[in-house]
């Protein structure tokens, strides 16, 4: 039997989790294919199964971060901030709902979450810096960074209406834009959900 040091065991299990996450991400893509086979042109429409999945991923991620913040005080500032960003993004995804229910403020009421988290961070700034430095060396950080790249520069910039129109012409620009943006955003939010679990196993569990 191979005897591994503590550091070697950590590397092994970190790598094993990343392989598992890769398999889950790959499998989820095919799940979206399956949903498209069922819902056809309604797959990425407003209030569709994909939009509900996006909202579920964001809310669940936020709740996981809040739960972790409650049980792991030494990372509370960072975890509250991460949770607030997930909740804020969920409000942004519900823009059409809030446009109807809160016509003036709309989804921007979701700013209350990051603003509250920033106020908390400011009160515990020294702790936050320590937490952030520690977190930035963890696999969860790089997973979140990957998710942000998928959701922002890839989904928003490549799926930009004028860019799509310039490349593909005017035919069904809105549909193509929605298809690309929504599919990328869904994958990005799924990666954020996985990173919330990785935060526990790769960072918080070590502090027990």
State pLDDT tens for residues 104-155. 889 999 999 999 999 999 999 999 999 999 999 999 999 999 999 999 999 9
Q: Are 73 and 124 in contact (CB under 8 A)?
A: no
Question: Which one, of 207, 202, 171, 192, lies nearest residue 65 by Cα?
Answer: 192
pLDDT in tens, 30-84: 999 999 999 988 888 877 889 999 999 999 999 999 999 999 999 999 999 999 9
Q: What is the mean pLDDT of residues 8-14?
A: 87
Q: Output the pTM of the full model.
A: 0.93
Asked if residue 199 has pLDDT above 80, the reply is yes
Per-residue pLDDT band for 202 (boundaries 50, 70, 90) equals confident
Handedness of CA 140, 145, 150, 156 (dihedral sign): positive
């Amino acid at each position: 039997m191979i005897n591994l040091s503590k550091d070697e065991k950590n590397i092994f299990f970190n790598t094993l989790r990343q392989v598992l996450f890769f398999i889950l991400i790959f499998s989820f893509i095919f799940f979206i294919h399956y949903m498209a086979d069922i819902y056809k042109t309604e797959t990425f429409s407003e209030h569709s199964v994909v939009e509900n999945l996006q909202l579920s991923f964001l809310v669940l991620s936020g709740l996981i971060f809040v739960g972790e913040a409650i049980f792991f005080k030494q990372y509370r500032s960072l975890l509250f901030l991460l949770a607030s960003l997930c909740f804020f993004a969920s409000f942004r995804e519900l823009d059409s709902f809030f446009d109807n229910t809160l016509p003036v403020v709309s989804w921007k009421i979701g700013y209350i979450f990051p603003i509250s988290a920033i106020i908390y961070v400011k009160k515990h700034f020294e702790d936050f810096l320590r937490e952030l430095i520690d977190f930035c060396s963890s696999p969860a950080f790089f997973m979140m960074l990957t998710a942000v790249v998928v959701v922002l520069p890839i989904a928003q910039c490549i799926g930009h209406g004028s860019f799509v129109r310039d490349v593909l012409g005017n035919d069904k620009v809105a549909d193509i834009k929605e298809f690309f943006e929504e599919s990328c955003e869904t994958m990005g939010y799924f990666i954020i959900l996985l990173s919330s679990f990785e935060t526990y196993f790769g960072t918080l569990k070590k502090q027990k």
